[in-house]
Structure 1
Amino acid sequence: MTEEPLTGGNNATEVVRVGDTVRRARDAGAAFAARVLARLESADYPHAPRHLGIDEQGRDILTFVPGTTTDHPAQRAPGAYAAGGRMLRELHEATAGHVLAAGRECVIHGDPGPFNTIFRQGLPVAFIDWSSCRPGDRLEDLGYMAWTWCILSQAGVPPVEQAGHLRELRDGYGPVEAARLLDAMEGAQSRIVDAETANLDNPTLTAARRHHAEAAVAWATADRAFVRRHRALLLSALR
């Protein structure tokens, strides 16, 4: 069958569509991700692809989830942020206390940005790219999601509108203390800055990957400054 390259996620791994399936080159997180997806299927969690096995080329076979990713609020329908928050909470609840959580609060997606979320008619329906999923704490996942979904320091979105999106996402997820959520957002931004700064001069990486690192540092640094500058506004929206 014809293989159609897919774009829109947030990983460098080759991903192609074959009919109603997705084939994805296996990486270091593939085996654990397959176990997590099996757990989510058994728990009737509807917001993830199903893992169907491994093909003759050694690639993961996943169900194809139709739709698109988004990168701007104008592409999202009313209620999208609350729906995204509920999707993340349901993931955490489905894995809390499970052996896969390895004694942590739950299994986290690890990269639940809008670039790894499929939308249909402006509403989120599924998380994709599970290669970063791992045992972790709810707030780590929520802080990253709140940042990447709600904060756009360089896109011309009014700060009060961004604060409203943050409130909607938090309310969709459930009760979280306002200051702790903002701290988690800054923590996620700082981790990106630190990790990608280390990649800037790594001679083993391609020029394209180092360029990606440079862009990621600039993005996270600008958004972290925005959160710090507008902390009072964001806190007020969350209370």
Structure 2
Amino acid sequence: MEELLAGGNTTEGVVRAGRTVRRPRDHRSTFASEVLRALNEAGFVWAPAYLGIDEEGRDTFSYIPGATTDHPSQRDERCYAAIGGILCELHDFSRGIPLASGAECLVHGDPGPFNVVMSAGMPVALIDWDSVHPGDPMEDVGYAGWTWCIYATGNVPVADQARRLRLLADGYDPQMGADALIEAVFRCQDAIIRIEGANAVDERLSDQRRHHARAAVEWAGSCRNVLSTNLEVFAEALQRDRR
């Protein structure tokens, strides 16, 4: 028996079947499956096992128990450093491998909390690898810093947001510069505003997809405003006690 899995905005028809997850394939699936095979063989424990293509032509992965989160109240405070560490492991593993195609490393492309399975407030798996690609590691770090730590809703104090951004940065690289991380966050937010702004008016897309695009633009813009209007708070938290 198959159970439709909730969540996700761009791929329909993802289901759980026993101890597996089945996902319809698209133009990104071949590369993503090659990356997952390489990660599995290397012992990267934060990725699901890739199990091949089923009889209906769907990618098959191991099912990982747990749930995603959408608010800091659902998380252990140690999770932010752990997320930074997971991304560091991914980037370190993939530097110089053929799949990186001459780029600095592979980047997950979408390492937000909606793509991390959690258990007891801590990450156990990074899922949804369809956006993996060769690139700049700060793409992942900036996006994770934003999506895990910066909130325009949910009554999250700005000082707590800045402190958690520092935890994530330290988990990735304790020597990371404050300016580099803040610039990376802004780049990610601006990219979402630009890309999803175009999708919001693209009549070739479904009404549901355009609705998602409009919501994404609003989300990115509101979070960008939080960062820009509280820049000193974030910069101070990122610079404190660093040598």
TM-score range, shorter chain: over 0.9
Q: CA deviation at 1:10?
A: 5.1
Output the TM-score relative to the length of structure 1: 0.97
| Residue equivalent to 2:52 | 53
CA–CA separation in structure 1 for the residues paired with 2:172 and 2:8: 23
RMSD: 1.0
CA–CA separation in structure 2 for the residues paired with 1:65 and 1:8: 15
| Residue equivalent to 2:116 | 117
* Contact 1:9–1:128 (CA under 8 A) maintained in structure 2: no
The secondary structure found in structure 2 opposite 1:94 is helix
Q: How many residues align?
A: 238
* Contact 2:91–2:105 (CA under 8 A) maintained in structure 1: yes
Within a 5 Å distance, the mapping from 1:1-239 to structure 2 comes to 2-9=1-8, 11-174=10-173, 175-239=175-239
Structure 1 residue identity aligned to 2:155: G
Greater Cα shift, 74-83 or 202-211: 202-211
Q: CA deviation at 1:11?
A: 3.6
Q: Structure 2: which 5+ runs fail to align? A: none
Quote the sequence identity (%): 48
* Contact 2:23–2:59 (CA under 8 A) maintained in structure 1: yes
| Cα displacement string for residues 46-69 of structure 1 (whole angstroms, at most 9, x for unaligned residues) | 000011100011000101111000
CA–CA separation in structure 2 for the residues paired with 1:4 and 1:52: 18
CA–CA separation in structure 1 for the residues paired with 2:113 and 2:62: 19
Q: CA deviation at 1:12?
A: 2.5
Structure 2 residue identity aligned to 1:211: H
CA–CA separation in structure 1 for the residues paired with 2:151 and 2:27: 31
* Contact 1:10–1:129 (CA under 8 A) maintained in structure 2: no
Q: CA deviation at 1:13?
A: 3.2
CA–CA separation in structure 1 for the residues paired with 2:48 and 2:162: 31
* Contact 2:10–2:209 (CA under 8 A) maintained in structure 1: no
Output the TM-score relative to the length of structure 2: 0.96
Structure 2 residue identity aligned to 1:183: E
Q: Structure 1: which 5+ runs fail to align? A: none
CA–CA separation in structure 2 for the residues paired with 1:162 and 1:10: 26
CA–CA separation in structure 1 for the residues paired with 2:37 and 2:125: 15
CA–CA separation in structure 1 for the residues paired with 2:8 and 2:88: 21
| Cα displacement string for residues 110-146 of structure 1 (whole angstroms, at most 9, x for unaligned residues) | 0000000000000011111000000011111100010
Structure 2 residue identity aligned to 1:82: A
The secondary structure found in structure 2 opposite 1:205 is coil
The secondary structure found in structure 2 opposite 1:67 is coil
Q: CA deviation at 1:8?
A: 3.2
The secondary structure found in structure 2 opposite 1:107 is strand
Q: CA deviation at 1:78?
A: 2.5
